[in-house]
Structure 1
Amino acid sequence: MTLLAVERIKLLSTRSPWWCALTALLLTGGFTALVVSNTSPQFPATVASTQFAYSFGMAVIMVLATLAVTTEYRFGTIRTTFQAVPNRTAALLAKTSVVALIALLIGEVMAFLSWGLSMAIKPEADLALNSTADWLNVAGVGPVCALAAVVAVAVGILVRHSAGAISLVLIYFLAAENLITLIPEIGDDIYKWMPFNVAHKFVTGDGESAGGAAFGQPLSTSTLSPWWALAYFAGFAVIMLVVALATARKRDA
């Protein structure tokens, strides 16, 4: 518990997490307002359309998670941490846990803020959370953001440089997986198992929360069920973290 408290203080005493959280909320809220305000009777607002922009916020959360690690390497404070806590695995696990919890909270606030804002913009639309799919489409954003933050922390531990780690995380998240579909014949089959595509399946399911409307989030091509999709993404995050922890134990700080 002491390690968790220390990591919480170290993280929240700097400005970057607060700016990242604010940026994530403004980005998702702004894009959500733009999308929902342009709905019409032909393309009505749905629960799915309220979360159209969650990936923008998640990208910012991953930047926050990466900086939580690389900033310590940049300023050399990680050496002090490892001197105070010789068990590097315990120290890094505490940091990862704090970052994941903060990412979960930001993700949930981000999702429900977008949903509430949509209800205010289109009060006549049917945006009630009436089904499991509806709840997953909104509340599911938080867990996905938390696991994405774990992946980003792992990349930060492995790369250690802020610019390189952030570039790698954003390029993969925003572009690399989609580019795989361009591989002739097998690209689409490989893409079905890409981690962030699978994670998106947990949020969107098979499109039930879109109410049959075309105006909503693009659906995941994964063949897994939503809960198995979350388990798959969690497994990927754990593997990345294990590799990062093993690497951190073997090399100099």
Structure 2
Amino acid sequence: MTAPTTTDQTAVPSVSPLEPRARFSDLFAAEWIKLWSLRSTLWAFVATAAMVLTSTSANARGDARQYAEADEERRALFRMLGLVPDSFPTGSATMLMLGAGAIGAIAVLGEYTTGMIRTTFTAVPARGSVMAAKVAVVAVATALFGALVGFLSYGAAQAVLSGQDIAVGLGHTGIPRLLLAATLLAPVSALVGMGVAAVVRHAVITIVATTALLFVLPTLLNDNSRLSASFLHMTVLQAWGRIGREQDLGEQWPWTVGGACIVLAVWALVSAALTIFSANHRDQ
């Protein structure tokens, strides 16, 4: 008889050490690299800066030409009212707003349209943390960009105005708050683009919807009544204008800088919430 052989088939459990959870700083660094790895991101920043500076220079040249042809009374009025807004006019703010909105949209659509978002969520299942890091990266990058473009816009305007000896210094009354407003406008607009992209997840519809919210909506409203003026004051462009410029004494329905800051904060917070929490519903 053959002796029965016994085989020990008891499986030794493979114990793998638990991987540490990704820290927010790690997610931030990963999203920062991811943002700048997209070619479209750099081109969007460059194109936006070019449009802003072109708008500022054209506006300053027009005002400098009018100043040269004006009489002394009109020149005095221009020196009193026209120098500060020339450093970052409404046209330049619009270009910055639309460009930053597109940059925010690209940061989200870059992954959703290619399907890479699935890989990202597989690597880091904490979807909310991933999207929060993405929001933080875009907010920081566009805030720095807004500050830089605002300063360059100021320099471009003063270079033109100096030809008529009407340039103003960086510490001139109104210039710092105008630059601050530009710094705030960029990240808020970018977050709006992110929020729309996270909900819509379609490139063309996202750009149309973002443009409508940031640019078209203010043109459809007016300040003929208190209700209409209240809705107008809730738009991003109007809030930027109130923060960056002195109160118009002839305005029928005046409002405060604090109110404008609240408007921008609400737009930013709602857009960030849409970006973060919409990731929990679907991947594409």
1:46–1:127 CA contact under 8 A, matched in 2: yes
- TM-fit CA distance, 1:76: 0.3
- TM-fit CA distance, 1:21: 0.9
- TM-fit CA distance, 1:166: 1.1
Q: Deviations over 1:129-184 (max 9, x none)?
A: 34563211123201221122112111111111111111100122121232133998
Partner of 1:23: 47
Task: Tell me the distance in 1 between the aligned counterparts of 2:268 and 2:182.
Answer: 16
2:56–2:153 CA contact under 8 A, matched in 1: yes
Question: How many residue pairs get matched?
Answer: 243
Partner of 1:100: 139
Change (3 A) 1:74 1:112: same
Equivalence map 1:115-134=2 (5 Å): 115-123=154-162, 124-130=165-171, 133-134=174-175
For residue 199 of structure 2, the aligned residue among 138, 150, 158 is 158
Equivalence map 1:168-183=2 (5 Å): 168-181=209-222
Partner of 2:86: 49
Change (3 A) 1:220 1:100: farther
Identity across matched positions, percent = 23
Task: Tell me the distance in 2 between the aligned counterparts of 1:170 and 1:33.
Answer: 24
TM-score normalised by L of structure 1: 0.86
| Equivalent position amino acid for 1:57 in 2 | L
Partner of 1:238: 269
Report the secondary structure of 1:86's partner residue: coil
- TM-fit CA distance, 1:126: 3.9
| Equivalent position amino acid for 1:38 in 2 | G
Task: Tell me the distance in 1 between the aligned counterparts of 2:247 and 2:94.
Answer: 18
Q: Deviations over 1:30-67 (max 9, x none)?
A: 11111111223334551211201122122111101101
Change (3 A) 1:2 1:220: farther
Partner of 1:8: 32
Task: Tell me the distance in 2 between the aligned counterparts of 1:205 and 1:146.
Answer: 22
| Equivalent position amino acid for 1:72 in 2 | E
Partner of 1:91: 130
- Compare 5-14 and 241-250 and name the one that shifted more: 241-250
Structure 1 unaligned runs (5+)?
A: 209-218
| Equivalent position amino acid for 1:241 in 2 | A
Structure 2 unaligned runs (5+)?
A: 1-24, 68-73
Q: Deviations over 1:90-131 (max 9, x none)?
A: 100111111111111211111111111122122211422345
Partner of 2:109: 70
1:33–1:117 CA contact under 8 A, matched in 2: yes
Change (3 A) 1:183 1:126: closer
2:239–2:264 CA contact under 8 A, matched in 1: yes
Partner of 1:212: none
TM-score normalised by L of structure 2: 0.77
Partner of 2:17: none
2:242–2:257 CA contact under 8 A, matched in 1: yes
- Compare 230-239 and 104-113 and name the one that shifted more: 230-239
For residue 100 of structure 2, the aligned residue among 61, 74, 86 is 61
Q: Deviations over 1:219-252 (max 9, x none)?
A: 9987442244123311222023223422321234
Task: Tell me the distance in 2 between the aligned counterparts of 1:162 and 1:107.
Answer: 24
